[in-house]
Amino acid sequence: MTKKTNFASFRFAFEGIVHVLKTQPNARIHAAISVAVVLAGLWLELDRIEWAILVVTMAVVWVAEFVNTAVEAAVDLATEEHHPLAKIAKDAAAGGVLVAAILAVSVGLLVLGPPLWARLFGGQ
């Protein structure tokens, strides 16, 4: 693979990220929550393991959102009609994002909850 091809691959990937952020309202919600989680983590002075858990969890949500967007686009390209299988593909992809988001909220509560409670209300 040449340097030019590597650069093009990264450029296309960044174009995909920008597209998702510009066109998907839920991606902007994920972005706002990601920023809030990072700021809370900095304020709570999380350790490396806690950061690793949060970063991996946030990445899972982002990957699910990107895959959901790709599935929706591919289905829309494949058919303009309302086909039951198209609905299943789109609904399943969206369900994957929901599962990832529920996971992220659960992990966020487990990682951020105790130190946040201690910081706001004192003690453990």
Task: Write out pLDDT tens, residues 67-121.
Answer: 999 999 999 999 888 999 999 999 999 999 999 999 999 999 999 999 999 999 9
**Model pLDDT for residues 31-63, shown as the tens digit of each residue:** 999 999 999 999 999 999 999 999 999 999 999
> 122: helix, coil or strand?
coil
Residue 123: pLDDT band (50, 70, 90) is low
Mean pLDDT of 22-32: 96
Q: For residue 12, count CB atoms less than 10 angstroms from its CB and return exposed for 0-12, middle for 13-18, buried for 19 or more.
A: exposed
The helix-helix angle for 48-78 and 3-23 (nearest 10°) equals 80
Residue ranges of domains in the chain, CATH in brackets: 3-121 (1.10.287.3610)
Residues that are catalytic: 65
CA dihedral 46, 25, 14, 60 (to 10 degrees): 40
Question: What is the pTM (predicted TM-score) of this model?
Answer: 0.88
Position 122 pLDDT exceeds 90 = no
Region at 106 (left for phi over 0; alpha for psi -120 to 50; beta for the rest): alpha
In angstroms, rounded to a whole number, what is the distance separating the alpha carbons of residues 124 and 15?
Answer: 45
Distance CA 89, CA 84 (A): 9
Q: From residue 9, give the alpha-carbon distance in Å to each of 3, 4, 14, 23.
A: 10, 9, 9, 21
